[in-house]
Amino acid sequence: MKSFPYQISNLEEYHQAYQKSIKQPAQFWEEIAQNFIWKKKWDSVSEWNFKDPKIEWFKGAQLNITENCLDRHLNKFGDQAAIIWEPNNPNEQNRVLTYNDLYKQVCQFSHVLKNNGVKKGDTVCIYMGMIPELAIAVLSCARIGAIHSVVFGGFSAQSISDRLHDAKSEFVITCDGAFRGQKNIPLKSVIDEALISCPFVKRVIVYSRTQIPLNMIEGRDTWWEEEIKKIETKNCNIFEAEVMEAEDPLFILYTSGSTGKPKGVVHSTAGYMIYTNYTFINTFQYQTNDIFFCTADIGWITGHSYLLYGPLSAGATTVLFEGIPTWPNASRLWDIIDKFKINTLYTAPTAIRSLMSYGLEPLKGKDLSSLKVLGTVGEPINEEAWHWYNTNIGKNKCPIVDTWWQTETGGILISNLAGITPAIPSFATLPMPGIVPCLIDENGKEIEENNVSGNLCIKQAWPSIIRTTFGDHERCRKTYFSTYENKYYTGDGAFRDANGNYRITGRVDDVLNVSGHRIGTAEIENAINQHKGVIESAVVGYPHDIKGQGIYAYIIYNKNIDDVIALNNNITQTVSNIIGPFAKLDKIQFVNGLPKTRSGKIMRRILRKIAENDLNNLGDTTTLLDPNVVNEIKNGRI
C-alpha cells in the first residue's frame, strides 16, 4: 500500500502525473492539497502572471503550516522521533525529540515569542548553530505567524546587520555560541557587534549551548531557558496556531545574485508547504518510518525545505547534525548512518569529494546497509564523485537522486525519482510534475530541439516559486522575470539530451558556487575594495577539486607590497569580516591593470580563462583598451 496517495510508484505513473500536472494543473494540485489540514479551503488553485510578477496559489485558503508539520501527526506518530539530533562531539549524548516533544516545545516557545512582543507579520532573525532549538525557533515563528529570516552561522556581523536592516527585524534569536568541528563560534558576540548599527532591535533571545561568558544587555537580551521556565510555571503547553492566509509570507531567506547586496527571497505559506512535501515524498520515495538525513545547514534553503518542512510535513524522522563530515575524522557521517540506521542521505557534491579525498580507510568496518536512497544537491556532480558515492556508499544498490533547484524555487524542480525514473550520472534528468523547463539561445529564442545547450528557464508557475524580494518587488521582476518574456530565468545553463534529460552545467551569470554556497562576484569585489590600499578588483571562479569552484581575485593595490603573504591574509580577513568566514579567497594575484573594454567594462571571460589556466583560448582581445595587460596577468598567474 502507498504511504501517500500522491506518491508516484512507477515510471508510468510519473508520466501520467507529469502530463496531468501540465494539462490540468489546478486539478492536479488540488487533489494533492486535499491531503493537508486547512482552516479554510481555497477559492482558486492558482492565479499568476510573470509580467508583474503576481503569483498566488490556493488563494482564499487559511492554514498554519505547523499544524501540518506537528499537530496532525500526534495521534498516529506522537511517540515517533521527529528530530534526531547528533551533537558535534561524538562523545556527547544525542537527543531525540518525538513529535509530542517537538509539539510541546514549539508551543512553549511560541508563548515565549508572544511574551516578548513578537506579533504576526513581524520578521524575526534567527542566527543559531545546528541544534534542535533552531528548528523550534523556526517552527515557533511559523506558529505565531511571524516571518523567519534564518541567517547562516558563517555570516559576519556586517552581513547580519545588512539583513536586519533590509528585513526590518526587531527580534533576534541566537545562541551563546556554536560547535562546528574544532571550532567554537561565538555567535552572540557577533550579534552584539551587528546590533551596534541596529538600534531598532528590541529583543535578543539567547539559548545557551557553549557556555562561553557573555555580555547580556539589560532590557534587550534575555535567556531562552529562563523564558521557558516562566512558561512552564504557568503550564502553557498548548499554543493555538495563528490563522494564516495561503499567500502570507512564511519566510525570507537571503541569497546572492550577480549584482548588489544579497536579496531577501520571500516564500509564502500554502504553496511552499504543498510543494516541499510533494517533492520530498516523491523524489526520495519516502516510506513511513524511514529516517532521513539531510546534511545541509538550516541556514540555507536545503535545510529549510528538506531538513525541516518537507520531512516534518510528511511525519518523517529527520536527522539534525551539529558538526561537519570530517571531524573528529572522516568516518563521522558513516558512523552517524550506522548509529541511527539512516535510510536516506542527502548531501552536497563538495562533501562527497572531500570525503573521497580520504580514500576508503574511513569506511572500514562501516555497515551502511540501512541506506536505501542517496541524494545530491547544490552544484553539478562530476562523474567521478557520482561513481564513488554509488559504489562505496550506496554499494550499487541505492538510487542516487541528483536534485536541481534554487533558493528561489523553494523545492526541487528537476531530478530523477529514486528507483522510479532512471538516474544518469551528472544529469538532474527530468522535471518534477508541474515544472515546464525550456532552453533559450543567445538570441533569446526558445530552442525546441534536443541535444542542445542553452539558458535554463521555466515557463509556468509552480506552488513554491519565489513571490517577491523583500521590500523591493521591482528587483524580483528585473532579476527573474525580465530577461525573457513570460519566463522565470534561473541563471543556470543546461544541456538537454535526446531523451529530454537535463544536465545542469552551472551558472551563466556572475554568481559563484563555492562548496555549494552561492556568492556573487560583485559582493566579494565590494568587500575586497573596502580594504585599505585596494584600488580595484575583479573576482572569478575557477575549477577546484573539492569546492567545485574556487575564488580567484585579481587586485590592483596602490602601494609597494613588502610582504605578500601578510597582505593576502589581511585582505582575506577583510572579506571574512564583511561577508563571513566561509567566503575565503583561494587565490590572490596582484596586477597593475585589469582587461577592460573601451567602455570600461571588465572582460571577465579573459580573467576566467587565465584563472582556469586555459591560456591559449583567450579569444578576441583586440577590443581591449590596453591589450598588454593580458600578457602581464598571464605571466603573473598564481
Residues that bind ligand WTA (CB under 6 A): 255, 300-302, 377-380, 402-407, 428, 490-492, 504, 506-507, 513, 518
**Torsion sign over Cα 171, 266, 303, 351:** negative
Residue closer to ligand WTA by CB (options 62, 256) is: 256
Q: Which is nearer to ligand WTA, 71 or 402 (CB)?
A: 402
Residue 391 CB, shortest distance to ligand WTA, in Å, is: 20
Q: Please report how close the Cβ of residue 429 comes to ligand WTA at its closest, in angstroms.
A: 10
Least separation in angstroms between residue 193's CB and ligand WTA is 26
| Shortest CB 636 distance to ligand WTA, Å | 30
Residue 245 · residue 226 · CB < 8 Å: no
In this complex, which beta carbon is closest to ligand WTA, that of residue 45 or of residue 381?
Answer: 381
Per this entry, what is the length of the chain?
638
Q: 3-state secondary structure string, 578-628?
A: HCCCCCCCCEEEECCCCCEECCCCECHHHHHHHHCCCCCCCCCCCCECCCH
Which residues does 455 contact at the CB level (< 8 Å), separation at least 6?
439, 440, 441, 484, 489, 490, 492, 493, 494, 508
Q: How far is the CB of 412 from ligand WTA (least distance, A)?
A: 8
Q: Which is nearer to ligand WTA, 375 or 595 (CB)?
A: 375
Which is nearer to ligand WTA, 152 or 327 (by Cβ)? 152
Q: Is 67 or 408 the residue whose CB approaches ligand WTA more closely?
A: 408
Give the torsion sign (CA, 628, 634, 636, 638).
positive
Alpha helices in 391-518 (DSSP H): 473-476
Q: Which residue is nearest to ligand WTA (CB)?
A: 407
- Closest CB 379 distance from ligand WTA, rounded Å: 5
* Shorter beta-carbon distance to ligand WTA: residue 88 or 255: 255
- How many helices (H) and strands (E) would you count in the chain? 20, 31
Provide the minimum distance between the beta carbon of 427 and ligand WTA in the complex, in angstroms, as a whole number.
9
Residue 56 three-state SS: strand
Rank residues 97 and 298 by Cβ distance to ligand WTA and give the closer one: 298
Within 8 A by CB and 6+ apart from 590, the residues are: 555, 556, 557, 561, 564, 636
Q: Which is nearer to ligand WTA, 7 or 416 (CB)?
A: 416
Residue 350 near residue 546 (C-beta atoms within 8 A)? yes
* 360 burial type by CB count under 10 A (0-12 exposed, 13-18 middle, 19+ buried): exposed
Q: What is the SS3 assignment for 492-510?
A: EEEEECCCCCEEEEEECCC
Cβ neighbours of 414 (radius 10 Å): 26
CB of 428 to ligand WTA, least distance (A): 5
Q: Are 575 and 569 in contact (CB under 8 A)?
A: no
